[in-house]
Amino acid sequence: MTIAVGDSLPDVTLVKATPDGPEQVQSSEYFKGKTVALFSVPGAFTPTCSARHLPGYVEKADDLKAKGVDEIACTAVNDAFVLGAWKGANDADDVTMLADGNADFAEAVGLTMDGSGFGMGKRGQRYSMLVEDGVVKQLNVEAPGDFSVSSAEHMLGQM
């Protein structure tokens, strides 16, 4: 079942990419007590994710924070080392990278996709959500191959 507005996020282990290396975090603790603009990409270093999705959140970070967002986070079915390298390659200092290497979070929120046709296996769908104290306040899931409703610009327009 796909997560919906008003639902609490499931409690799973994610791996945060930090300058000191991977750090395991529980989603229940990470999202507790703050407002997070979360977006999911099918994969770091993939074309749309690198050219448009991540750069939009980097560019609009100050605008999102001015509207009450405490933290901007990106999740992908990649490991923390890949997400850390992607963060560095894109000067994405304002974005917390949350690795979902086994797709546990993607499965728990019901937003997986099959990227086998591209040699990518199971991945998380492209989406964004605004999460307040662990509860989904906005959810924007892209149709396959699209990029519009999960953008930083779209999220800002909803706030």
Q: Catalytic site residue 74?
A: no
Burial class (CB in 10 A: 0-12, 13-18, 19+), 103: middle
Give yes or no for a contact between 124 and 44, defined as CB atoms under 8 angstroms apart.
no
Q: Which of 3, 14, 17, 49 is catalytic?
A: 49
The C-alpha angle 147, 137, 66, rounded to 5 degrees, equals 80
116: which DSSP letter? G
Residue 110 CB partners (closer than 8 Å, separation 6+): 1, 2, 3
Instruction: Indicate the pairing of strand 13-18 with strand 21-26.
Output: antiparallel
Dihedral, 23, 24, 28, 34 alpha carbons, nearest 10 = 10
Provide the annotated active-site residues. Answer: 49
